[in-house]
Amino acid sequence: MRTSRNHDSGFTLVELLVAIGILAILAGLLLPALARAKEKAKVARVHAELYGLGLALEMYADDHDGQLPPVRANCNTDLAEHWCQFPVELAEQHYLPGGDQPGMAVNMADLFNPNHTYKYAAPGPYLLNGSPGGTFKLWVPSDFPLCSSTNGQWYSSPKEAPVRWVVWSLAPRPDSARSQDPHAPLASSSWYSHAGDGGVIARFATRDGLQVKCP
Mean pLDDT of 88-115: 93
pLDDT confidence tier of residue 191, bands split at 50, 70 and 90: very high
End-to-end CA distance of the chain: 82
> Would the pLDDT of 184 be above 60?
yes
Report the pLDDT value the prediction gives residue 8, as an integer from 0 to 100. 55
Whole-model pTM?
0.84
Question: Closest Cα to residue 141, out of 175, 180, 185?
Answer: 185
For the stretch 5-61, pLDDT in tens is 555 556 687 767 777 777 777 767 666 677 778 888 999 999 999 999 999 999 999
Residue 29 has a pLDDT of 67
For the chain, which residues make up each domain, given as ranges? 13-214
Alpha-carbon distance of 18 to 29, in angstroms, equals 17
